[in-house]
């Protein structure tokens, strides 16, 4: 049995391009990795609370080695739940819009809750070392406009950031599908769907799911 963690970020429900694309990918994954168990987390329908002082203190206490073995202060309970969802997943499917060139605030809060010193990464003299087992992460990113080289074009800070921050906790197998120009009309949407198909054909058959490889 393979477990997929499906994270949705867009607040736009059924009209969301990233959600629709991710649902299509999920169907493909279900056929390819049957039986597929899906853990769903909708960061728009159930937004996570902003980082609190209590969370910050408990997080820093963990970083300083001040928590007892197995001790989970109440302020870290939600973070532990989110990390447990990641740990339970053999694959992650993340569907998100681009907001102001990077991740939406709701996704950033999820990141702040799962990227924790001495829990999901360790700081060493050589830099941060991820503590989670690697597993495929498929990220679908919808952007209203184009991303391209040259003056006047917008930059994509989302893709490199997402890869960097997930890599920090050990998730280095991140594949990003960016669907540009969603705000520019049906012709561009059709191009995005073609791109989705090509990307899926190139990416999904080669996915190495560690627990499946070991089985």
Feature table: binding site for FMN: 10, 16-18
Restricted to residues 83-102, the positions that interact with ligand FMN (CB under 6 A) are 97-101
Q: Please, what is the minimum distance in Å from the beta carbon of residue 98 to ligand FMN?
A: 4
Task: Give one DSSP letter per residue of 110-163, joined into a string.
Answer: HHHHH--BTTTEEEETTEEEE-SPP--EEEEEE-SS-B-SSTTPBP--HHHHHH
Task: List the one residue from 45, 84, 183, 208 that touches ligand FMN (CB under 6 A).
Answer: 183
Given the complex with ligand FMN, which of 101 and 164 has the nearer CB atom?
A: 101
Given the complex with ligand FMN, which of 13 and 202 has the nearer CB atom?
A: 13
Task: Give one DSSP letter per residue of 62-89, joined into a string.
Answer: HHTT-SPTT---GGGHHHHHHHHHHHH-
Residue 17 interacts with ligand FMN (CB under 6 A): yes or no: yes
Q: How far apart are CA 68 and CA 96, in angstroms?
A: 36
Query: Per CB under 6 A, which region of 12-20, 113-121, 129-137, 205-213 contacts ligand FMN?
Result: 12-20
For residues 125 to 144, the per-residue mask of contacts with ligand FMN, x marking binding by CB under 6 A and - elsewhere, is: -----------------xxx
Bridge-partner residues for 80, per DSSP?
none
């Amino acid at each position: 049995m393979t477990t997929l963690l499906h994270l949705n970020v867009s607040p736009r429900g059924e009209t969301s391009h990233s959600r629709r694309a991710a649902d299509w990918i999920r169907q493909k994954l279900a056929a390819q990795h049957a039986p597929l168990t899906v853990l769903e987390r909708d960061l728009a329908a159930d937004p996570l609370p902003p980082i609190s002082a209590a969370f910050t203190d408990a997080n820093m206490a963990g970083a300083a080695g001040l928590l007892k073995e197995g001790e989970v202060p109440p302020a870290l309970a939600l973070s532990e739940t989110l990390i447990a969802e990641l740990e339970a997943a053999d694959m992650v499917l993340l569907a998100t819009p681009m907001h102001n060139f990077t991740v939406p605030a709701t996704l950033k809060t999820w990141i702040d809750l799962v990227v924790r010193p001495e829990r999901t990464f360790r700081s060493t003299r050589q830099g941060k070392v991820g503590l989670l087992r690697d597993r495929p992460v498929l990220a679908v990113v919808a952007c209203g406009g184009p991303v391209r080289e040259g003056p006047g074009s917008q930059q994509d800070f989302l893709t490199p950031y997402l890869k960097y921050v997930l890599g920090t906790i050990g998730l280095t197998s991140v594949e990003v599908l960016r669907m540009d120009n969603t705000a520019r009309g049906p012709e561009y949407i059709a191009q995005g769907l073609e791109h989705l198909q090509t990307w899926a054909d190139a990416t999904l058959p080669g996915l190495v799911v560690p627990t499946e490889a070991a089985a």
